[in-house]
Structure 1
Amino acid sequence: MAESILNGRRVLLIVGGGIAAYKCLELIRRLKERGASVRAILTEAAQQFVTPLSVSSLTGDKVYTDLFSLTDEAEMGHIELSRDADLLVVAPATADLMAKMANGLANDLASTALLATDKKVLIAPAMNVRMWTQPATQRNFETLMADGVGFVGPNEGDMACGEYGPGRMAEPAEILAAIESHFNELAYPGGGPLKGKRVLVTSGPTHEPIDPVRYLANRSSGKQGYAIAQAVARLGAETILVSGPTNLPNPPGVTVKRVETAREMLAACESALPADIAICAAAVADWRVASDAEQKLKKTPGEQAPALTLVENPDILATLSQMKEKRPSLVVGFAAETEKVVEHATSKRQRKGCDWIVANDVSPATGVMGGDLNTVHLITREGQEDWPLLPKQAVAERLARRIAEHFSNARAAE
């Protein structure tokens, strides 16, 4: 099974001083999950927000803070520290750190390591909106861009100081995506292994209206489908994500079409064709109310609850799998089961006519529905692959690389 693009990569994380520094802990955790090794430098100001002990506990390595530590210089000099890494990431990158980088200053360990490196630098700015929009900061931003420094963010949003606007640090998932994109570009200089492929992904629940304020739905969070869309996009695919209602941000590099109902989802999928690959990860409601009320249904004391007549929703997976024209070359379905997971999923693959089924156990004891972990079984015409318990992002990466291997093997067989 193909490994994460980050497996074995060395990241030097430089943490600047700002309230957003707490996000570096989540970033470290996600990098470690994907097999990266992380060393960290904390500026003096950063230590006011996160402690070296907390960072060291997550990296599993010494945290570096002092330019003039004789012990550090004997063990890992600041020049070697910066050049030993495959990538330097500055998160959060304060206005002060950006100014030092843009002007070649080196008066502490962080700025010295940044000046001494010969590796790619990726930074995630974080500062007050007025600091970000200051001409001096914008000049530094333009200088760093011209120097080849990569940027992720800043985002627009609420600030800890109470103001609103650009300057909010990118979320750990966004920074992680930028890091993975960097290593994908190194691994596939001509584009990823899915370059030239068009991929349709469905995700999330559907909401089937009962009246203007009530609906039928399920517990799907959409996390797995969003992760899959992001993973195939990072491998170079043109990716269209058809999403039911979720609270998730649009994955970078992905075209997102948001819908509410199963019928809207099917129409959006059909409009996205032709596609080379369809991955149906959405938890589509099986039924809808035959006729939803135009006004809110009122509860009257003493009267029985209104009877709801349900009709079957369109079967999106079966529709895409059984198309005579425009059928994707590879159709992948999902089977969320609470019992006899593999048995029911195998039957579903045959019944729907799709090529692969990703079966996952969503029984209440697993906590998978809406959670961050997944245990899946990949069922194909050739057999069954059992994957271990993994974060949903890791499941997505494995599936994306498995799809890339499928098309690579098909080309080799021609």
Structure 2
Amino acid sequence: MSSLMRLKNAWIFVALILMFFLSFHLSDVLIENAEKDLEELIEDDTSPKALLTTTTTKIPTTTTLKGAKTPPKVTTKTTTTTTKKPKTTTVKGAKTPPKVTTKTTTTKKPEVVDPNACPLVSPLTKGDIKIDLLPSNKKDKWPPSEDELIKLMPQLSNNVGNIYKGPPKCNCRSKTAVIVPYRARTEHLKFFLFYTHQMLQRQQLCYVIFVVTQDDRETFNKGKLMNAGFVEAKKYGEFDCFIFHDVDLIAMNDKISYTCKDEQVVHYSFAMKQFDFKPLYLGYVGGALGFTKNQFETVNGFSNQYVGRGGEDDDMQRRIRFRQIKVWEPKESFVKYANIPHGKDIGYPQNKLATKLMEKATTRMDTDGLKSLSVKKVTMAKHKTYVEFLVKL
């Protein structure tokens, strides 16, 4: 009997141990199944149940038998699932719709047109001008003095501050400053004023003729005088166009428009009688050259280094080209200039260093010109037909 009881107790003990391990294994299976369910739920983005969800798996309680080893503690797992944006499914072979781009269109403001502006082509111009350059000893009262010029053109006497304000019946389209480097060419200046005033008035322009006189006995420095003339002319008034003009050049047709272009420097005097009305050489920009204010400042004006005759015009051509500004020359056949004959100028010898200076024209252009201009003194004198800047270099 006692042995049957012992055997029975042994089977009960074995059964209890089996029940313990079965319950422990069952808890692992339940946890594993719960984790799989959660993973499937996370992967299913389109499921309405895939919203923010908290899943808790409870581990069944197990009974610990006396003398048995305590199984490892199982903790409760909490998983937070966040809804993802649904993915776009592309069907194989289907065309991808074109990307829609938005264009921003800027509406350009219409240019304000002055209803009282003078016409683009003045009806007052006559075309070819009869040029008489006989010296004063060959003809009485020729060329005319300033007083005689006022009698011939009484409208000049009405200038306020020596600015010719254009015709009375329309508003001029351009305000032009004509800058003339000068010294001891009295007869040339008289011819220049007589013919140039008539031409500019027929073109219905507002204008001033600035004569920039080197007022010392130093060697003539044309580039420096033109820079000084530009600086002083800016102080004098607002101008759309600055034309740098030799005093011994006379336009032979009053249709040669003394205005400037925004995108191009204008070379007016490429056809001169002295050279059979052919360009002196390729790239020549001497004689009469027109800039806007911005263009002249962009090239930093003329070089101040060319003392004596020659070099400053060729240096300017290199500056213009280096700044990638184009030079425009009028194509009309009537664009011709007459040269006033003259002998050798005292104090204006040939510049022997011109070629050497031109070799480094573009490397020094930012430091040699308007930015580095220095003169001792500038005095302004208002004459009846022009404004004079007397410059001591």
Q: Give the TM bin, normalised by the shorter chain.
A: under 0.3
The higher radius of gyration belongs to 2
- TM-score, normalised to structure 1, is 0.20
| Bigger proportion of residues as strand | 1
| Bigger proportion of residues as helix | 1
- TM-score, normalised to structure 2, is 0.20
Structure number with greater CO (CA < 8 Å, separation at least 6) is 2
